[in-house]
Structure 1
Amino acid sequence: MRALAGPTRRPRGRHRPAAALIPAIHPRGKNVGGLLRYLFGPGKREEHRDPHLVAAWSGPTQLQSLEPPRTPSGRHDIRELARLLEQPVRAGRNPPQKPVWHASIRNHITDRTLTDAQWAHIAAEIVAAVGIAPHGDPDAVRWIAIRHADDHIHIVATLVRQNGETVWAWNERLKAQAAARDLEERYGLYRVGPVDHTSHRRPSSAEQSKAERQRRAEIPRDRLRREVRAAAAAAVDETDFFSGLRAAGVLVRLRHSTVTPDEVTGYAVGLPDHHTAAGDTVWYGGGRLAPDLTLPQLRRRWHPVRGTAPRTRRPETRARQRANAFRRAAAATRNAAGQFARSEANDDTSALAYSAADVLTSTARAFEGRRGGPLTEAADTFDRAAREASRRRRGFSRPAIELRAMSRLIAVVGRLTDDHDTAAALQLVLQMAMLADNLADLRESQQRFHQARAARLAADQLRTIKGRPTTVGHQPATSPAAYYSTTARAPRAHTA
C-alpha cells in the first residue's frame, strides 16, 4: 500500500511510483471538527464516495452509534463525533496545542479490494504500533478510522488519553511502516522492503503548486537534480563539476570549512529565475537533491578518474568519434553486466553500479539534451537502483574505472547528430537493459526490494525506448529523432 497523497499535478508528467502499505502521517492539527467535515464530505473533486466508519476506539459494537447521521441536505452531521473525540483533550491536564493526529493508508493498485473488517484490523494494528492506542489499554486515546473509497482509509485520533495524560508519539512513521510490512505479508498484499534511505527527496506539494503557478515546465528541484547528476557524470573532479554546472546555467554556492577557510566542504545550487517571495535565490544542497549528491559522496565517485577523457587514436569526424565512444561504452557495459551476473554484493559491484549509472546519464544527455525525455526518465530510475544505502568507501576495480571513463568520453563528444552515432548509442542502451536486469537480481539477493523494483523498471524502460533495432547490415533511419518512432526490445540477460 502506498502513502495517501492529495490529488496534485506535477509538471512534465513525471510519475511517482506507487509503493505498498506505507501509512502517511500528516502534520498534527488543532481542529478535529474541520478535519471530520472534510473526510465525511464530498472531497475537493467529489472523490469521497460513501464515507463511513470502519473502526473506532470503542470497538465494533459501538460503530453504529458513533456514525455521523445525515442531515436533510444529505451531509453528515459530525458535531457529536467531534465532541466525543475532543472530550479527553478538554479534560486533559496538559493537552498539546495540536492534539489532532491524522494518518492515511492506501493499498497498491494491484491489490484486491479489502473489506471493512480488514481495514478495521489494519487501522487497529497501526494505532497500536505507533503507541497511541495499545491493544487492551482501556485508557488509550480516542480514535476512528474512516473509509470513503475502495483503496484507502483515514485514521483520526486525539492525543490525550482518557485518563487525562498526553500521548507524545515518537517515531510514529517508522513504527507504522514496520507494522505495515507485517500487514502486507499477513494479507498477501503487494510488498516493499524496509526503508533503505536510497530514495531522493520528492518535491513537496508547495513546490509543485508553485511550479504550476509559475507555469514552469519542470519543478526546480527535479531540474537541478538532473543537471547536477549530468555534471557529476561528466566530471573528473570537483573543479570540473562546478565548471560544468555553471556552464549549464546553474548558480553554485560553495560552503567553506570554518576551521580551514580554503577547504570546500559542501555546495548548494539554484536557478537564476527561482526566488523566494522576498526575492532571494532558493538554494538546494546536494543532499537535498539525492543522498549520493553530497560533495563527499561525489568525491568518492571521482576518486579513480584523473586527467581528461580518453582520446581516439587517429583523426576522425566528430560523428565517428561519437559512434566509437558508444561502441566502447557498450563493450564495457556488456563486461560489467557479466560481472554482476557472476558476483555477489561487494564494493566492486557497488562501484560498477555507480559507474553504469553515470554512463546512462551521459547517454541520456547525448540523446535528449537538457530537456530530457524517456531515456532521461530511465536513467533517473536506474540511478535509484545503483545507490548504496551505506556511506562506506567504494573500491574501484578496472571495469568500474573503465565505465567512468566512458561516461566522461560520452559527455565530451556531445550530442548525437546522425545515423551512425545514434545506432551505436542504441546498442549501448540495449546493453544497459541487460545490466539493469542483472543489477535487479543482485538487489533481490540483498533483499533491497525498493532498488530491485527500480532496476526492473529501468530495464523495461530501456527495452521500450522507442527506436529502430540496429543490427548488422541494417540501415538506420534518417535522423536520431526517427529512432523514437517504433519500439526496440532487448533480450533479458542474467548471465555473462
Structure 2
Amino acid sequence: MIAKVSRGRHLGGLLRYLFGPGRANEHIDPHLVGAWDTGWLPEGVFAADLEQRGGLARLARMLDAPRVAHDMPVNGGHVYHVPISLPSDDGRLSDATWRKLVHEAVVSMGFQHCRWVAVHHGRSAQGNDHVHLVVNLVDEHGQVVNTYRDWPRWRRWCRWTEQRMNLTPTAPAGAGRKATSRAEIDRARREGRHVTDRYELRRVVHSAAAHARTELEFFEQLRTHGVRFRPRTDRAGRLIGYSVALTDDHRRPRLWLAGSSLRRDLSLPRLQARWRSHPLSARPDITAAQQLRFHLDAATDELRGYLQQSGHTAEHWHAAAQDVANLTVIAANWNPPLSLVADHLAMAAQPPQRRDERLRTLGVVLPTIVEAGYLAVASGPLGLLMATLIFTIFALVTALIAAIEHYQIHASAQRHVAQAHRWLSMQPAAHTAPVPETLESTPQPKVTRSPTVSSQSRRRLPPALQLRRASPQQHRAPRR
C-alpha cells in the first residue's frame, strides 16, 4: 500500500478531475466511499445532488466552508490530496473496506476535525485499486492541522495496514522494482508496442545476467540483444553501476534506465556478488549435454537439502528462488513463454525489506542449479533436454512452495510463486519424468554445415548460444 501526498488550493478543480474521465479514461465509476458527512455517501440525503448540475460545486463549497468562514490563509495550500493505492496483485477492495480504511487513516493523521471526502473510481491505468483522499486542512475551529513529518506517519500507517490485512508489503525506496510510469505506458501505445521499454529491458537484462559470469560477459550479452548500455564509474575509475536503453528505428536510445530501477536484484553490486560466488567449472571428459543431465538430476535434492538446513531464514528462501528464476530465464531462450514464469519467480525472490549487507549479498546459494543454467547455454536444451528442464523447474518450484509455511514467506511472494507453479502445471513435460540417461550415453553426432543450412540454423538459435558456436572449420563434413 502506497500513499502519495500533494498540496494545492483549488478544491473545485480537483473534484472535477476525480469525478471526470481521467487522463486515460480510467475513471469508470467515480463515487464517494467516505466523507466527513455521511449524507454525501451513495445512501445519504445529498447523494442525488452529485448527479445533478452544480452538485460538485456545492460539495466543493461545503468542503471549503471552514477556511472561507474563518478567512484562514494556508502556506502551501489548504487542499490536502492523498491517493492511497494497492499493488495490482491485491485485487480490488470493497467500498465498505475502503470506507473503514479511510476513516482509520483520517483519525491516525489527526484529520478527524476536518472536512474530507474519499473518491473511488476504479483501477488505475496500471491495474492498481486505489482511492483519493481530499482534506481541507482548516478544521471546524479555524485551526490549520499540523502536517509536519506527515510522510513517515503515512508510511507507518500503510505498513500497519499491510500487516493486519495480509496485503502485499511495500519495501522501502529502491527495493523491488520501480513501477512503470503513465508516460512510459502512453509512449508505448503511441508507438504501437504491446510492452513498455521498462518491461522489455527487465526481461533482457535478467536473461543477460543469468547467462554471464563476469561484467564483460554481461555487457557482451546486452550488446548481442541489441541493448545500448552505459557503464557508470566512480572517481577512481571503478565500475559501480550501469544504465541500459532500447533503440528506435534510427538506432538512437529511447529511454535510459538504471539497472537497479528495473529490479533490485539487477543492480550491479548484486550481480557482482553472484558472479563472484560462482563455484563450479565444466568437466572436459563429458559433453555439455551430459553434464546438464547430471546437474538437473541433482538439482531438486540440492534445493530440498538447502531449505532444510537449520539456521536459514526467509532471506535464504528468497536467494534460492533467485537461482531458480535464473535457470528459468535461460530456458526461456528456447521456450519464450517461460519468461513469464521467470518474471514471477524473480519477483518472489525479492525480500519485502532490506536486511543487513550479508543477507543482501548472499550470491549463489544453489551452485548445481546455477551451473545447470550455464550448461544449458552451452548444450542447447532442445527435444528431450527441454522436457527435462521443464520437469526439473516444476519440481524446484514445488519445493519452494512446500517451504513457504516454514519460512513464513510474505503474501506477495506466495502469489508470484503460485502463479509460476500454475503455469508450469499446465505443461505436459512437468508431469512426465524424462527417460534416464547415463553419462556414457551415445555422444552427439557431428554437425554438417552448408551455407544454406548454416544461416537458417543460426536464426533458430538463441543469441546466447550463437556466441558459443564453434568456428566453421570445426564443423566441416568428414572426409570419405
Q: Please state which band the TM-score falls in when normalised by the shorter chain.
A: 0.7 to 0.9
Q: Which residue of the partner structure matches residue 325 of structure 2?
A: 357
Once the two structures are TM-superposed, the CA of residue 96 in structure 1 deviates from its matched residue by 1.4
Secondary structure of the residue that 1:265 maps to in structure 2?
Answer: strand
User: Aligned partners of 1:398, 1:204: CA distance in 2, in Å?
Assistant: 32
Does residue 175 of structure 1 match 2:156?
Answer: yes
Paired residue for 1:81, among 55, 59, 69? Answer: 59
Q: Which residue of the partner structure matches residue 393 of structure 1?
A: 358
Once the two structures are TM-superposed, the CA of residue 220 in structure 1 deviates from its matched residue by 0.7
In structure 2, the CA distance between the partners of 1:397 and 1:443, relative to structure 1 (3 Å rule), is: same
The answer to whether the Cα contact below 8 Å between 1:199 and 1:291 also exists between their aligned partners in 2 is: yes
Q: Which residue of the partner structure matches residue 266 of structure 1?
A: 241
Does residue 291 of structure 1 match 2:256?
Answer: no
Does residue 47 of structure 1 match 2:28?
Answer: yes
In structure 2, the CA distance between the partners of 1:396 and 1:153, relative to structure 1 (3 Å rule), is: closer
Unaligned ranges ≥5, structure 1: 1-21, 185-190, 475-496
The answer to whether the Cα contact below 8 Å between 2:219 and 2:229 also exists between their aligned partners in 1 is: yes
Once the two structures are TM-superposed, the CA of residue 24 in structure 1 deviates from its matched residue by 4.9
- Amino acid of the structure 2 residue aligned with 1:291: R
Q: Which residue of the partner structure matches residue 410 of structure 1?
A: 376
Does residue 458 of structure 1 match 2:420?
Answer: yes
Secondary structure of the residue that 1:199 maps to in structure 2?
Answer: coil
Unaligned ranges ≥5, structure 2: 124-128, 437-480
The answer to whether the Cα contact below 8 Å between 2:177 and 2:263 also exists between their aligned partners in 1 is: yes
Give deviations 1:61-89, integer Å, cap 9, x for gaps. 78756646157xx4561112212323455
User: Aligned partners of 1:272, 1:432: CA distance in 2, in Å?
Assistant: 36
In structure 2, the CA distance between the partners of 1:256 and 1:342, relative to structure 1 (3 Å rule), is: closer
Secondary structure of the residue that 1:359 maps to in structure 2?
Answer: helix
In structure 2, the CA distance between the partners of 1:323 and 1:148, relative to structure 1 (3 Å rule), is: same
Aligned length: 415
- Amino acid of the structure 2 residue aligned with 1:233: A
Once the two structures are TM-superposed, the CA of residue 127 in structure 1 deviates from its matched residue by 1.7
The answer to whether the Cα contact below 8 Å between 1:432 and 1:462 also exists between their aligned partners in 2 is: no
Q: Which residue of the partner structure matches residue 345 of structure 1?
A: 312
TM-score by length of 2: 0.73
Does residue 247 of structure 1 match 2:215?
Answer: no
Q: Which residue of the partner structure matches residue 72 of structure 2?
A: 92
The answer to whether the Cα contact below 8 Å between 1:333 and 1:428 also exists between their aligned partners in 2 is: yes
User: Aligned partners of 1:152, 1:218: CA distance in 2, in Å?
Assistant: 23
Give deviations 1:324-362, integer Å, cap 9, x for gaps. 525523422332134314555247655433322222221
Once the two structures are TM-superposed, the CA of residue 255 in structure 1 deviates from its matched residue by 0.9
User: Aligned partners of 1:86, 1:431: CA distance in 2, in Å?
Assistant: 61
The answer to whether the Cα contact below 8 Å between 1:143 and 1:157 also exists between their aligned partners in 2 is: yes
In structure 2, the CA distance between the partners of 1:111 and 1:56, relative to structure 1 (3 Å rule), is: closer
Does residue 430 of structure 1 match 2:394?
Answer: yes
Give RMSD over aligned pairs: 3.8
User: 1:54-203 maps to which residues of 2 (within 5 A)?
Assistant: 54-57=33-36, 59-60=37-38, 64=44, 67=47, 69=49, 74-75=52-53, 77-89=55-67, 91-97=71-77, 99-104=79-84, 113=94, 115=96, 119-129=98-108, 131-133=109-111, 135=112, 138=113, 141-146=114-119, 154-162=132-140, 163-165=142-144, 167-168=146-147, 169-171=150-152, 173-181=154-162, 184=165, 191-192=166-167, 194-196=169-171, 199-203=176-180
Once the two structures are TM-superposed, the CA of residue 99 in structure 1 deviates from its matched residue by 2.6
Secondary structure of the residue that 2:83 maps to in structure 1?
Answer: strand
Once the two structures are TM-superposed, the CA of residue 95 in structure 1 deviates from its matched residue by 3.1
User: Aligned partners of 1:409, 1:98: CA distance in 2, in Å?
Assistant: 62
The answer to whether the Cα contact below 8 Å between 2:178 and 2:262 also exists between their aligned partners in 1 is: yes
- Amino acid of the structure 2 residue aligned with 1:377: L
The answer to whether the Cα contact below 8 Å between 1:237 and 1:306 also exists between their aligned partners in 2 is: no
Q: Which residue of the partner structure matches residue 282 of structure 2?
A: 310
The answer to whether the Cα contact below 8 Å between 1:436 and 1:459 also exists between their aligned partners in 2 is: no
The answer to whether the Cα contact below 8 Å between 2:138 and 2:144 also exists between their aligned partners in 1 is: yes
User: Aligned partners of 2:195, 2:8: CA distance in 1, in Å?
Assistant: 31
Q: Which residue of the partner structure matches residue 37 of structure 1?
A: 16
In structure 2, the CA distance between the partners of 1:352 and 1:429, relative to structure 1 (3 Å rule), is: closer
Secondary structure of the residue that 1:78 maps to in structure 2?
Answer: helix
Secondary structure of the residue that 2:264 maps to in structure 1?
Answer: coil
Once the two structures are TM-superposed, the CA of residue 110 in structure 1 deviates from its matched residue by 7.6
The percent of aligned pairs where both chains have the same amino acid is 25
Secondary structure of the residue that 2:55 maps to in structure 1?
Answer: coil
The answer to whether the Cα contact below 8 Å between 2:7 and 2:76 also exists between their aligned partners in 1 is: no
Give deviations 1:260-317, integer Å, cap 9, x for gaps. 12x1111111112299xxx76421111111111111111111112268x524623x5x
Q: Which residue of the partner structure matches residue 477 of structure 1?
A: none
- Amino acid of the structure 2 residue aligned with 1:390: R
